[in-house]
Amino acid sequence: MKITLERYHGLGNDYLVFDPNKNELKLNKENVEMLCNRNMGLGSDGILEGPFIGEKHMSLKIWNPDGSIAEKSGNGVRIFAKYLKDAGYVQKKNYKLVTDGGLVEITYLNEDGSRLRISMGKMSFWSDEVPVTGERREVINEDMVFGRTLYPVTCVSVGNPHCVIPMREISKPLVCKIGNYSEVARYFPERINTEIMKVIDNNNISIETFERGAGYTMATGTGACAAAGVAYKLGLTGNKVIVHMPGGELQVEIDENWDVYMTGEVFYVAKICLSNEFVEKLRAL
């Protein structure tokens, strides 16, 4: 049986969709790493495995390129929602999808499903929910050391953990320098995603991201939500912002209960059929 995957990207953040209902291959850490390898495999920022059909809702498993599991991905969820429409699993305008980071509500904003609004759930700044070590408190503007440099850090969970650092100037080299230390810092028992954020005005911010298990990425949905939430929490912006990233823009809105909503586009790239030789290598791992 042929193994096929679908490639999509959301603002340059690219994922492979692996449908277990159409493929006879069990994914694991080793073969996910090979598939995501940009020299020896297909290359990807991760794999979206699903749908798994439940009694009430369909569910999704999100693999990082290092073979670890991500609780939630904003770009991944939007891409997977587009796949569900493309593959005929979903006909409705609104539905709910289960992720390891909680239930998300999806709304298609156009006919082909390429523009979507996602309810990403409730944000939390509490240390035990992010998680961050130490006594229970909201982790707001705390001094943390990454690579012998002190930074003012605010931590938030949007179904997965983030630390956000407001800065006057941001860049790819800088977030990579910080992220190499912050991802595995002693403060974060489950590792963490890192965003450095520049506030442009009351309605616009820009970010650079170093993702846990993936490294530098051109865009991030959960990271955009986290940064927007931190900017609002610190009084730097209003509750509705456009988040600018190297891969493009996302609209983020936070309501009075700290529920966060994200709006953006995704794009279908290709259907990929793996060679028999490559499939045998994957099966052997």
Residues 104 and 143 in one domain: no
Residue 54 shares a structural domain with residue 104: yes
Residue 1 pLDDT more than 80?
Answer: no
pLDDT band, residue 93 (cuts 50/70/90): very high
d(CA 283, CA 261): 39
Looking at the structure, tell me whether residues 140 and 251 fall in a common domain. yes
Domain span holding position 228: 122-256
Cβ atoms within 10 Å, residue 201 = 11
Quick: pLDDT tens for 226-271: 999 999 999 999 999 999 999 999 999 999 999 999 999 999 999 9
pLDDT band, very low/low/confident/very high, at 54 (cuts 50, 70, 90) = confident
What value does the mean pLDDT take over residues 89-108? 94
262-284: burial string, b at 16+ Cβ within 10 Å, e else = bbbbbebeeeeebeeeebeebee
Q: Looking at the structure, do residues 67 and 136 belong to the same domain, yes or no?
A: no
For residue 154, give both structure tokens: 């605010």
Binding annotation for substrate? 13, 64, 74-75, 160, 193, 211-212, 221-222
Per the annotation, binding residues are 13, 64, 74-75, 160, 193, 211-212, 221-222
Q: Does the CA dihedral 139-251-211-246 come out positive or negative?
A: negative
Confidence (pLDDT) at 55: 85
In a domain, 262, yes or no: no
What percentage of the chain has pLDDT greater than the value 70? 100
| 175-228 per-position pLDDT tens digit | 999 999 999 999 999 999 999 999 999 999 999 999 999 999 999 999 999 999
Number of separate domains in the chain: 2
Helix (H) or strand (E) holding 164: strand 161-166
Could you tell me the pLDDT band of residue 106, with boundaries at 50, 70 and 90? very high
CATH number at residue 245: 3.10.310.10
Q: What angle do CA 100, 212, 13 make, to 5 degrees?
A: 85
Distance CA 177, CA 147 (A): 8
Does residue 261 sit within a domain? Answer: no
Say yes or no: 28 and 108 in one domain: yes
